[in-house]
Chains A and B, each alone.
Chain A
């Protein structure tokens, strides 16, 4: 599986957009980008995933660069409840269904 690189920590003011970057320069054509978050010691929560087009759902937007070597997760209006560790995961679209978690980005929303 392709390796991902994320900043270890970020701060964002409440109400502002939180932009979390992820580098996956070795991603291959059949690999998806997934984002999960873990609030304190709760179970990881699925946020969004994409292959090459930008994606949006009720939680977030995912922007993938044209060369697919990096992506950005956007939380449009961050709240205190968005404080969590965010994991960017690259996973092939067949054959290997496990999720390989890195160390993620610890996002702190500041009131």
Chain B
């Protein structure tokens, strides 16, 4: 158990809909990362938040957005869903105390499996 929690575990929805995925980081961790894993693209970085502020952006679509709240939990919002958005979505967290240094190890949650029908 990494200490990172994600809800829901599974999500089934229809094209055009909007969903929200939630992540609670490990206690004390300030950085939250979102990754997407699809069959054809592998594990890809989407976005990072550090202490409530966006810190880095990866291959995140404009239909997707995220935020980190004062209690440090994060939500990933996916809208106008398409069949191709079906994937596993992982959240990871790190202390962020040494923000900018690679010894700041990321720990991953169990993921949310999104199925768009």
Contact = CB atoms under 8 A, between A and B. Distances in A.
Interface residues of B, number: 32
Majority secondary structure of chain B interface residues (helix, strand, loop or mixed): strand
Interface in B61-117: 88, 90, 92, 94, 99-111, 113
A44 B43 contact: yes
A97 B111 contact: no
Contacts, number: 75
Contacts of A44: 43, 90, 92, 108
Interface of B: 2, 4, 31, 33, 35, 37, 42-45, 48, 55-56, 58, 88, 90, 92, 94, 99-111, 113
Interface of A: 31-32, 34, 36, 38, 41-46, 49, 87, 91-103
Q: Across chains A and B, which 9 residue pairs bring their CB atoms closest together, nearest first?
A: A43-B108, A101-B43, A98-B45, A93-B102, A94-B100, A32-B102, A44-B108, A91-B102, A43-B110
